[in-house]
């Protein structure tokens, strides 16, 4: 039976109606209309659904919405707000350095998986700002990209690491 739950997403409190075991992904997409996290496999294997829970990258397709209670959920839509805004040209959008690097490196083809790569990369670089290439590869190893843009993605993550240094 659905019950009212309160969750904090991208800095805003939301009251939602869901059973406690409903996957967070379904609540984010269906009740809050957030389209950054995507349904990929439903088994926490591909990463398309990745969000941050108190700063840690988690797979929202298997995380019960009740596990998000009392914690900060950040989606792709709210990621830029977690990083201090640099001086930008007028009219230029504020993006997280990982988002900016993905655009500059044209790191995605179809873009379906890009949410997982960006959210996982941002959490990884926050935890290990000076990660070696081996650490980056290991930290991103659980993500899938059917287009095969892995090398472009790796270049983007390295670029973001330099920009964040």
The domain spanning residue 49 has which CATH number? 3.10.20.30
The pLDDT value given to residue 58? 98
Below-50 pLDDT ranges, the chain:
none
The domain spanning residue 143 has which CATH number? 1.10.150.120
The pLDDT value given to residue 153? 97
Q: Print the domain residue range for 41.
A: 3-77
The pLDDT value given to residue 105? 96
CA distance 146 to 78: 26
Chosen domain end from 54, 77, 100: 77
The pLDDT value given to residue 93? 85
Report CA-CA distances (Å) from 147 to 42, 106, 108, 144: 19, 13, 8, 9
82 within a domain of the structure (yes/no): no
Instruction: State whether 100 and 73 are in the same domain.
Output: no
Q: What is the pTM of this model?
A: 0.95
Q: How many domains does the chain have?
A: 2
């Amino acid at each position: 039976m659905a019950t009212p739950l309160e969750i904090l997403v991208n800095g805003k409190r939301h009251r939602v109606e869901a059973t406690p075991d409903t996957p967070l992904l379904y609540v984010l997409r269906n009740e809050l209309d957030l389209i950054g996290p995507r349904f990929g496999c439903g088994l926490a294997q591909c990463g398309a659904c990745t969000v941050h829970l108190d700063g840690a990258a988690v797979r929202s397709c298997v995380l019960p919405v009740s596990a998000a209670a009392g914690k900060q959920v950040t989606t792709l839509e709210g990621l830029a707000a977690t990083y201090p805004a640099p001086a930008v040209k007028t009219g230029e959008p504020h993006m997280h350095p990982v988002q900016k690097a993905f655009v500059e490196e044209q790191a995605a083809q179809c873009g379906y998986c890009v949410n997982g790569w960006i959210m996982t990369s941002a959490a990884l670089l926050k935890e290990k700002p000076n990660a070696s290439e081996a650490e980056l590869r290991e930290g991103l190893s659980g993500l899938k990209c059917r287009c095969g843009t892995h090398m472009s993605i790796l270049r983007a993550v390295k670029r973001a690491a330099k920009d964040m240094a």
